[in-house]
Amino acid sequence: MAIKNEYLKGVYEGLAARNPEQKEFLQAVEEVLTSLEPVVERRPDIVKHKIIDRIVEPERTILFRVCWTDDNGVVQVNRGYRVQFNSAIGPYKGGLRLHPSVNLSIMKFLGFEQIFKNALTGLPMGGGKGGSDFDPKGKSDGEIMCFCQSYMAELYRHIGADVDVPAGDIGTGAREIGYMFGMYRKIRNEYTGVLTGKKVGAGGSLARTEATGYGVCYFTNEMLKAAGDSFEGKTVVISGSGNVATYANQKATQLGGKVVAMSDSSGYIYDPNGIDYKIIKEIKEVKRARINTYLDYVPTATFTPGCSGIWTVKCDIALPCATQNEINLESAQALIANGVQYVVEGANMPCTLDATAAFQAAGIPFGPAKAANAGGVATSGLEMSQNSMRYNWTFEEVDAKLLQIMKDIYASAAKAAEEAGQPGNLVVGANVAGFLKVADAMIWQGYAF
Ligand code: NDP
C-alpha cells in the first residue's frame, strides 16, 4: 500500500477490513488518500473533524430488486443500486450504469470518484452513482423499456431535482433515460430536471451528448499547451466506441489529431487513414452492431479480437474511454515502449494504480479521469440550470461554457499540484482540489452527516 500517513492508513485499513471484497472501491480510495497526505499534514482540522473517516462512507446506499418481463413472458430479476455518496456541496449527481458486471464495489468506486469530479467542475453538485446488473445488450426495445420502468418504479422515491439527479453511463443512453424519465413523470406527475441526458426538445441540453468526449479533448489540449505542444499531426488511440469515445474521436480529429484505433469489448479496429467518427456513430447508435462492422465501410481497415491489444498500437496520445482497469501495467509498458507522449483518461479509472505509476515514472503527462472526463457531468449541471430557468442555451453557448470549465479544471488541478510540491502531477492536483472544496463544506455544516 502506498499510503504512509498514520491517520490515512488507519482509515484505509478500517475500510478494507469492513469491505474486503470491494476491490475497485478500495483502489479508488487508495489513490485519493495517497494524494491527500500533504493536505492532512498541514490541515489538522481535517483530522479533528474526521473528514476522511466520513467521506469514505456513503451517506446512503439503496439496493433493491428489479423485476421485469422479457419478450417470452418470462419474469427476470435484477439488482438495482443507487449510492448517494456525498451531498455537502449540492444534490447527489452521477450516472446510472447498466452492465452485467455492476456490483456494490463498482457503484461505490464510481460514486466516490464522482464526489471530487463534481467538485472540480465548480458547479454545486454532490456525488452519487447507480445502476443495475441488467445487460441491455441483445434486448429488444420493449424489454429495455420494461426494465427501465421497473427500475424507476423504485428509484423515484429516492431522487428529485433538488435531491439526487441521475444521468447516463455505460449502457444508459438517451433511449434508457427517456424510458426512465417517462416513468418518473407518470408516478410523480411533475416535469422537472430529475434526470439529465434528456432528449433535446424535451428538457435536454444541446451538447450534452458530445460533452464528455469533447471535454476530454479540451482537457488534453490544455495539457498539450502546457508542454508547448498541440493535437496537430498527433496519432491518437481511443478505446471503446460508445458515447465518450465517439465524441472524443470527433473533437481530437477537429483539433488536428488522427484517430487510428478504436474498440469495443470484442476487439479493436485499426485504420491508418483515420477513423471517421460518423461511421462509428452509425454502427453503434443506429445499428447497435459490433465494431468489426467498420470493415464493411472501410475494407482496408483491420479488426483484431481481444480487449487489450489496442494498447500495442503505436500512438502519441492514448485516450482510454471504455471501462475501469482496461490499462494494466503490461499495457502501460507496451504504450511506453511504443513512445506514447500523453495519456488522458476518458473512462472512469481505466488505468490500474501500477499502470498510472508507470506512466508517471516515465515522465509522461497523465490526465486523471476525475478531471479529464468531468465535462459530461459539468454539462449535466448546465442542463439542470437550463431546466430551472425554463430556458435553453444554444449549442455554441453550452460548448463555450464547457470549454471554459475544462480550462478551469486543468488550471485548478495544475495549481493544487504545485502547491502540494508535485508540479505537473495532475492526479494529486485533481484529488486535492476536489477534496478541499468538499471537506470545507463538510466542516462548515457540522456533523449532521
Ligand atoms: P457506452 O456504454 O456508451 O460505451 C462503452 C464502450 O466501451 C462500448 O463501446 C463498450 O463495448 C466498450 N467496452 C466496455 N468494456 C470494454 C473492454 N473491456 N474493452 C474494450 N471496450 C470495452 O459508455 P460511455 O461511453 O458512456 O462510458 C465509457 C466510460 O466513460 C465509462 O467508464 C463511464 O463511466 C465513463 N464516463 C462516461 C460519461 C458519459 O457522459 N457518458 C461521463 C464520465 C465518464 P461493448 O459495447 O462491446 O460493451
Closest CA to 263 of 288, 282, 246: 246
Which residue, 344, 367, 390, sits at the end of a domain? Answer: 367
Same structural domain, 184 and 122? yes
pLDDT bucket at 419, cuts 50 / 70 / 90: very high
Q: Is 331 in the pocket of ligand 1 (CB under 6 A)?
A: no
Write down the pTM of the prediction: 0.97
Beta-bridge mates of residue 320 = 239
Look at residue 430 and tell me if it is in a domain: no
Task: Inform me whether the pLDDT recorded for 102 exceeds 90.
Answer: yes
Planar angle of CA 286, 288, 291, nearest 5 degrees: 110
* Domain contains 386: no
- CB contact at 8 A, 64 and 80: yes
Same domain as 105, residue 177: yes
| Together in a domain, 299 and 157 | no
- State which of 139, 158, 191 marks the end of a domain: 191
Q: How far apart are CA 303 and CA 71, in angstroms?
A: 33
| 360 and 218 within one domain | yes
Q: Both 311 and 294 in a single domain?
A: yes
- The answer to whether residue 1 scores a pLDDT higher than 80 is no
**Angle between helix 104-120 and helix 395-419 axes, rounded to 10 deg:** 90
Domain boundary at 367, 394, 417, which? 367
Band of pLDDT at residue 361, cut at 50, 70 and 90: very high
Residue having the nearest C-alpha atom to atom 37 of ligand 1: 169
* Average per-residue pLDDT for the chain: 97
CA 65 – CA 63 distance, rounded (Å): 7
Q: Which of 28, 27, 47 is nearest to 37 (CA)?
A: 47
The CB-side HSE value for 155 (13 A sphere, CA atoms) comes to 32
Q: Would you say residue 287 lies in a domain?
A: yes
Tell me which of 117, 129, 251, 437 is the catalytic residue: 129
Residues 104 and 154 in one domain: yes
Whole-angstrom distance, CA of residue 296 vs CA of residue 289: 12
Q: Distance between CA atoms of 200 and 223, rounded to whole angstroms?
A: 32
The residue whose CB lies within 8 Å of the most ligand 1 atoms, and thus the one to mutate among 176, 212, 283, is 212
For residues 396 and 108, give the distance between their C-alpha atoms in angstroms, rounded to a whole number: 35
Within-domain flag for 201: no
Supply the CATH number for residue 71's domain: 3.40.50.10860
Helices (H), 134-291: 141-155, 174-188, 208-226, 243-254, 277-281
pLDDT, residue 245, reads 98
User: Pocket of ligand 1, candidates 243, 250, 324: which has the most ligand atoms within 8 Å of its Cβ, to mutate?
Assistant: 243
Is 422 domain-assigned? no
Nearest to 439 by CA among 137, 88, 184, 126: 88
**What is the tally of structural domains in the chain?**
3
Please name the residue that has the C-alpha cell 488522458. Answer: 344
187 lies in the same domain as 48: no
Residue-range definition of the domain harbouring residue 112: 60-191
Q: How far is the CA of 92 from the centre of ligand 1 (A)?
A: 22
Q: Say yes or no: 232 and 308 in one domain.
A: yes
Distance between Cα 167 and ligand 1 center (Å) = 14
Q: What is the pLDDT of residues 229-246, one digit of tens each?
A: 999 999 999 999 999 999
Ligand 1, atom 31: closest residue by C-alpha: 347
284 is catalytic: no
